[in-house]
Every structure is written in C-alpha cells, then in structure tokens.
Amino acid sequence: MGGSGLAIVAMPMSAFTGKKYRVPGSVVDYCAACKTPVSVSPSSQKVLAGTPGSRVLCVDCAMASVRAAEDSGDSVEEIPPTPEQITEIEAWRRSHKGGGQ
C-alpha cells in the first residue's frame, strides 16, 4: 500500500450506479494502490493540484492504509475537509433526503 503524504479518499465509480448523486464536475481517476476507478470532485481536484506528492485512494485502500500505519505504530494525521468539500458533501446529503437524482 505504502505512500506518504496527503491521500484524498474517493468513492469508487461502482458506487454511482443507478440514480445516485455524483458531484457535478467530478472526474474519473484511479486509486493509487489498487487502480480501481474512483470519482474525484472538483474541490478534491483542487487539493490534489495544490499538494505535491498527494494521491487518490479508494475507501477500501484508505482504510487498509490507516490500519497498516496504526499497526506499525505510525501516526495518521486526519485533515478536515475544505469549505468547498463541505459544500459538496452537503449537496450530496440534500440529494439523498429527497430520494436522489
């Protein structure tokens, strides 16, 4: 799994089948660990572009990476979402309250 630096956690494209909400402007990228196609929102794209050495991980690989770091005694720093990411998350939550898009 490896890798150091910032990792953006992204939902796999398989999570967006049917009528589930996907943030407008999202692009398909690939998990740095397992190469699963993932959806990267515009705000996360901005963070990746502005953070040299950052990478994208799918949810499963991100969780495995955290577990491996903790098991080896390494610390894991969690960075809170940016205001733009919070706006995207709130839009997703609203879409699910009304039955999705």
pLDDT in tens, 45-93: 999 999 999 999 999 999 999 899 889 988 777 778 889 988 988 887 7
Examine the pLDDT at 98 and tell me if it is beyond 80.
Answer: no
Q: Find all residues with CB under 8 Å of 38, minimum gap 6, and list them.
A: 10, 11, 12, 13, 28, 29, 30, 31, 56, 58
Cα gap 93→47, rounded to integer Å: 22
pLDDT in tens, 27-38: 999 999 999 999
3-class DSSP state of 14: helix
Cβ–Cβ < 8 Å for 33, 9: no
- pTM for the full model? 0.78
3-class DSSP state of 80: coil
Examine the pLDDT at 101 and tell me if it is beyond 80.
Answer: no
3-class DSSP state of 9: strand
Higher local confidence (pLDDT), 24 or 17: 24
pLDDT for residue 19: 65
